Amino acid sequence: MIASVTAQATAAACEAMAIVAPSPLWTAASDTAVALALMFSALAIHRAPLTAADRSARASAPVVGAAGMSLVVVAMAGLPVALGVALANDQALSSAAEIGCGAVFALMAFRLVLRIREDGRMTEDLVRSEEDFRELVEASSDGIAIMDARYRLLFTSPAARTLLGIDGDGDVSLLDVVRPEDRALVRTATEEFPAGEGAPMHFGVVGTGGHARELEATSSERPGSGRRVLYLRDVTTRRRRERELERMAYTDHLTRLANRAMLFQEMAADAVAERCLLVLDMDGFKAVNDVAGHEAGDQLLVEVARRLRTVVRDGDLIARLGGDEFAVLATGSMTEAEEVAARVVAVMAMPHRVEDWTFAVGASVGVAPIGPSGGQDAFREADAALRSAKAAGKGCVRLATAPAVPDMEARADFPDLVADGVFGVRMDPFRAADGSVGLVHVVPTFTHPTFGGVQGPELWGYAQRQGRSEELQTWLISEATMAAARLLDERTGIALSLMTGSMTPETLAATIADALAASGLAPSRLVLCVTEETLLTSSAALLPALEAVRATGVRLCLDNYGMGQSLYAQLARLPLDLVRVDVTALAPHDDTQRALQILAAIVRTTGTFGLTTIVGGVVTPEVRAAVHAAGASLVHGRSLVEDYLTAEELVAAAPAPTA
């Protein structure tokens, strides 16, 4: 480019001379200079760099080539060598040699001055770059830290110190400030993944002021440095929102139960233990919305969720499928799942009180095992079993493997079918530690020659929907007292459950008194069982009626204790004589030790008030022995022989009275 400018200047001078003294020589020289200027401009454009010059500190540093370095070394070493050789040969230095030595020393001094100035400029650039970098780091809202291979923090920005909850740049290890449960994760992410690779690290720390924080860390590392730069960011709010969104994605917003997505995800997960699916639908729920409004319906669904939590085990998953449909993923066999389903039906059969309304809403349950085919097939089988339960008259349990039961209740001649059937009672013995029967629980049964048998919650559901629950309760009281009077051993008592809404408080005392008089049974041998739900949902007149019955000598039992209020609250309202507890509802599945600990505490409390403790749900001889060791007076369940007896079998099995 300099040559091009020189050629253009020469061309201009030649043109001027051609004007002053016209001559072909000046004209030719001007044309030649112009051509050379064009050629030099083209060469300058061709040799121009394609990118902007690098003006960084590293690029601006002086570069000494091999030839230049050799020349400097020869120049610096040659002069002392020449002087040494001259002195060794006693040769005097000429004036020219002295002048040359002086010139060389002057040039060396000049070069040293230039080197010092260049080093000073580079030092200033480095200091300025460091100051700019420090200001940038300290002004950043994200934390920046430098860590060595032993996790020591060599440098931390003010934001990083705030995030990590440390003071100053002392000898601090990153692992010391990370939560103990996250230290293994930090080690794994640091040792197994090179810097800049893998997902960002997430770990928790206790920040300034003792506030827990969740940090996200990415890193970079210059090869061979042994140091890793961490870029820290506070993601506490973001992670909390992510967890909330995840919870909302798998949770029913009304009942706070799991939703359908969570249910099917859990069913798809691998499980070692046997599992079953319970699908239930509320019977009569539509009437709640029609009569009391959708807000009352929502309140009832929340109450349904609460009751489900009281009867299933902690390890089981409860989900709302939508509307008034729910599901329970239970761990255990079909027999255990059927027991859970029976408890669900029983607790849902109790009246539901919503504001000023009381509704009799039950539940039908279908049960299916989760086999190798997966949760989808299990759901279809459980849903088909649920439809079978609905067709069988609602308020009952149907298994996917059980044959369908014809719809007896839907028949127009249902009263005639009842007349053709046979009502009876089933005796559930409550046994003492020595195996003797101390008390029997009477349950009504109904058997039809065509439609089979119905008992327990199903029979009560039939009677309630047909408006004959009071009739069934009166018949049961009479039949139970008659059966008890036929027992030879007068030490054996008889217990029967008072179902919610089955009898008005005004007629309760008179009905029991008439039955006792007709049978000749001593009042002390009769035990009347009421649940906590019955006491909470029935009218206020029930408590005085129960106190009047107890005044005649009949004993009162609080059934399914542990599902609601404390024993102190119940005793403050009603005097009691016995308490029945279901041991399977006291702790999660297979946590027998915890259930026994809770049972022991209950027995000590009931013993303080002089109450007799009855324990149900005993499924193994080992549990039976442990329950008796905990202080229970009577037990019942599948571990006992002769679980269910007829009245005649019980009379034959009862021991003769001792003299």
Angle, CA of 107, 111 and 115, to the nearest 5°:
170
Q: What is the pLDDT of residues 289-333, one digit of tens each?
A: 888 888 888 988 998 999 898 888 778 899 999 889 999 999 988
CA neighbor of 628 nearest in space, from 603, 650, 608 = 603
Residue that is written with structure tokens 């303080």 in the block: 608
Q: How much is the pLDDT for 278?
A: 95
pLDDT at 354 exceeding the cut of 80: no
Band (pLDDT 50/70/90 cuts) for residue 166 is: confident
Band (pLDDT 50/70/90 cuts) for residue 279 is: very high
Band (pLDDT 50/70/90 cuts) for residue 29 is: confident
Average pLDDT score over the chain: 79
Query: If you average pLDDT over residues 75-79, what whole number do you get?
Result: 63
Helices (H), 466-585: 469-485, 505-519, 532-537, 542-551, 567-573
Helix/strand/coil (H/E/C) assignment for every residue in 153-195: EEEECHHHHHHHCCCCCCCEEHHHHECHHHHHHHHHHHHHCCC
Q: How much is the pLDDT for 58?
A: 56
Calculate the CA 86 to chain-centre distance.
93
Q: Which of 27 and 496 is assigned the larger pLDDT? A: 496
pTM listed for this prediction: 0.48
Query: If you average pLDDT over residues 457-464, what whole number do you get?
Result: 70
Burial class (CB in 10 A: 0-12, 13-18, 19+), 387: middle
The Cα–Cα gap between 437 and 414 comes to 38
pLDDT at 534 exceeding the cut of 80: no
DSSP secondary structure letters along 304-362: HHHHHHHHS-TTSEEEEEETTEEEEEEES-HHHHHHHHHHHHHHHTS-EEETTEEE--E
